[in-house]
Chains A and B, each alone.
Chain A
Amino acid sequence: MQENIIKELEKKAHELKQSTLNLCIGACTGHVTSSMSCAEILAVLYYGNILRQKPGNPKWDGRDRFILSKGQGSPILYVTLADKGFFPKEWLNDFCKENAKFGVHLQCDVPGVEITTGSLGHGLGVGAGMALAAKMDRKDHFVFVLLGDAELYEGSNWEAAMFAGHNRLNNLIAIIDRNWLGVIEYTERALSLEPLEDKWRSFGWEVKRVNGNSVKELLNALYDFRSFRFTKPLVIIADTIKGKGICSMEHFPLMHGAAPRGEAAEKAKQELSECFF
């Protein structure tokens, strides 16, 4: 793998983080830490030649579908979509303000957004339906669903996982942002999610586990997905750090919905700028 591509994607992930932090500080709201943990995932999907999309034609039928099931990660997706040209960057200026185009959670009427999310446990089932439709119509696009790890407490995910596994939806790829934190507690203290790999495997999925903050590992996990080498749906368990890049917010409970203000905001900006070389 070319080192320069990795460097470029790492740089892009960092830029997305900076824009997202500024967006949330400006709006005094938005889930910063949930966005930081999945920055590399979005950078790889949108800039790493993974998602087949046309920003100028968001509803292009041949596009790969991307569902951000963890809708609280909307700030970084909005930043990404604006950067890719799905909609004017100026729209970001009104984030969470009166008469804004969008707010804290994800809205399907924003170009590039497939479904409204925010209530957890919806995305995988809808994605499975989309993948099934593609199979019925013999279309070759893929459906990606990015899930939060604590989202997996919602039982509907396992209904959908069983359904996708049984129907061998090998055009469906779930990525779990495994940042090990819910809202108030570490997942393994609150209610154990592990062993996650065994769980998904037993539901009929192909399983990969990577460092989700490593562009290189994410690219490796996805390099041949379009070959349909697997006969099962694929889940990538991406171990990440919640708040990655902002030391004062990293891997710390109760930072879930926090957007830093005042001195904390300046500190967060400083920490984020120092974390990338």
Chain B
Amino acid sequence: MDNQKHMRDEFIGKMHELAKKDRNVVMVNADMGAPALDLFRLELPQNFVNVGIAEQNMIAVATGLALEGKKVYTFAIAPFTTSRCHEFIKLNAGLMKIPINILGVGAGVGYDDSGPTHHLTEDITIMRAIPNLEIYSPSYSDMAKNVSEIVYKSPNPTYTRLDRKLVPDLSKYYQYDDFTSGFKELEKGGEIAIIATGNMVHNALEIRKKFLEKGRNIGVIDIYRLKPISTDLKNTLAKYKAIVSIEEHLLDGGFGSIIAEIIMDGNLNTKLKRIGLKDYFYIYGRENIQKRCRIDVNSVVEEIEKI
């Protein structure tokens, strides 16, 4: 992963590129740093607005700018740009359908060393309840870059949740892909497939490897747009006898719940096993947290073997 860039920097780098061509691109920031952002601030200071650590005002100012025709991106640590200012997003972006692009870094327990104040394990639940909001959850850097342009072009408000840490490259799966379908079956499986989003897609691929060693072929599906969810996903799920959803997120209304809704509403015969976080706050160390909550690779392998 030596040459890999953080998803955050690829996303912001693309925004920078767009801002060079379109002077209406503005970044409203809640005092949050990133190497790519330093470059943006240096080259385009007039397109950069720091509101201080004030996420409600970040969304409000972004809304005002967008109402006047600016193409606005906002940026803060993920829990603070979602839970902290949820009603501002609901009313200003959702209700009025103002196209601001909210970027949150640190989905799941990416800020593992910072503890539960900086973890974000409920955003899928609360953000998908906002009408008109598109939700993106990229799984690797180049996808994040593409999503940055997708949200720039979208007429709707958007929320993009990014993992804080470096993640492996998945380009080999996405050659010639325009990232508009919202999901991809990365590996076709036999009777069972694992479905995941963001950093957990990499866990899913690891789990698949473990089963290949045992002679079993488990499929892997990457969902990178959580809302609107692709209507085609239903057909992919229907091919399998069982789906296992894994998420670094609370099970209550989270990623697995989206899959459950598709299966139930579509009257599919596919069985679903949801694996995610239980009702609890977790502390320190992503590996430690994943093991304790049994969402790590080995624990999920054990769970799938029971199916």
Contact = CB atoms under 8 A, between A and B. Distances in A.
B96 A125 contact: no
A146 interface: no
Contacts of A156: 56-57, 60, 88
Interface in B52-103: 52, 54, 56-57, 59-70, 87-88, 91-92, 95-96
A114 B63 CA distance: 11
A163 B57 contact: yes
A93 B212 CA distance: 70
A163 B96 contact: no
Contacts of A136: 26, 46, 70
B52 A129 contact: no
A125 B61 contact: yes
A137 B57 CA distance: 21
Nearest to A137: B68
A22 interface: no
A42 interface: no
B72 to A, nearest CB: 8
B49 interface: yes
A152 interface: no
A126 B64 contact: yes
B70 A122 contact: no
B258 interface: no
A129 B61 contact: yes
A131 B61 CA distance: 9
A34 B91 CA distance: 22
Nearest to B85: A156
A103 to B, nearest CB: 13
Interface string B239-271: 000000000000000000000000000000000
Contact of A129 (B46, B62, B96): B62
B73 to A, nearest CB: 13
A128 B96 CA distance: 17
A55 to B, nearest CB: 19
A128 B60 contact: yes
A160 B57 CA distance: 6
A221 interface: no
B36 interface: no
A124 B63 CA distance: 11
A131, A134, A163: most-surrounded residue (chain B CB, <10 A): A163
Contacts of B64: 125-133
B56 A125 contact: yes
A163 B61 contact: yes
Main secondary structure of the interface of A (DSSP, over half): helix
A132, A134, A137, A162: most-surrounded residue (chain B CB, <10 A): A132
A162 B46 contact: no
B96 A108 contact: yes
Interface in A131-157: 131-134, 136-137, 155-156
Interface string A112-126: 001110010110111
A15 B46 CA distance: 46
A152 to B, nearest CB: 14
Nearest to A128: B61
A157 to B, nearest CB: 9
B92 A122 contact: yes
Contact of A132 (B59, B61, B96): B61
B65 A132 contact: yes
A119 B67 contact: no
Given A108-B96, A122-B91, A126-B92, A163 B54 contact: yes
Contacts of A130: 64-65, 67-68
Contacts of A116: 91, 95-96
Nearest to A130: B64
Interface string A147-186: 0000000011001101100000000000000000000000
B49 A159 contact: no
B49 A132 contact: yes
Contacts of B28: 129
B69 A126 contact: no
A116 B93 CA distance: 11
Given A133-B68, A162-B52, A122 B88 contact: yes
A110 B305 CA distance: 58
A159 B92 contact: no
A159 B54 contact: yes
B106 to A, nearest CB: 22
A125 B68 contact: no
A108 B95 CA distance: 9
A116 B96 CA distance: 7
Nearest to A136: B46
A134 B63 CA distance: 14
A163 B57 CA distance: 8
A230 to B, nearest CB: 20
B69 A133 contact: yes
B51 interface: yes
17 contacts: A115-B92, A116-B96, A125-B57, A125-B63, A126-B63, A129-B28, A129-B62, A129-B64, A129-B66, A129-B68, A130-B68, A132-B61, A133-B68, A133-B70, A156-B88, A160-B57, A160-B60
Question: 7 tightest CB-CB pairs across the interface, nearest first?
Answer: A129-B64, A125-B60, A133-B68, A159-B57, A129-B61, A159-B54, A130-B64
Given A129-B65, A134-B68, A137-B68, 8 more contacts: A115-B92, A116-B95, A122-B92, A128-B64, A130-B65, A131-B64, A133-B64, A159-B52
